[in-house]
Amino acid sequence: MVIDLTPTRDGAGPARLLDMIEGRSKQVFKTWLAQRPRAWRDQIEVVAMDGFTGYKTAAAEELAHATAVMDRVC
């Protein structure tokens, strides 16, 4: 699942589901990110994820400017 936590962070409302991606791999997440518009990706500041290293690597490669953090719920 890919969720936008911005509304929660900003106190503007609940988080919102962006997409549900089939598969759990670096390549699946990297491909999903690469298919998003550059302007959209450039706005991402923080990526919260579970401890799967594939997600961290994909985020680092596609969103080098964003900070990766561990999702406290996981």
Q: Which residues are registered as beta bridge partners of 49? A: 70
Determine the pLDDT at residue 70: 86
Mean pLDDT of the 38-65 span: 92
Q: How confident is the model at residue 73 (pLDDT cuts 50, 70, 90)?
A: low
Residue matched to tokens 């680092």 = 60
Q: How confident is the model at residue 1 (pLDDT cuts 50, 70, 90)?
A: confident
Mean pLDDT of the 62-66 span: 94
Determine the pLDDT at residue 71: 79
Q: pTM for the whole thing?
A: 0.81
The answer to whether the beta carbons of residues 28 and 21 sit under 8 Å apart is yes
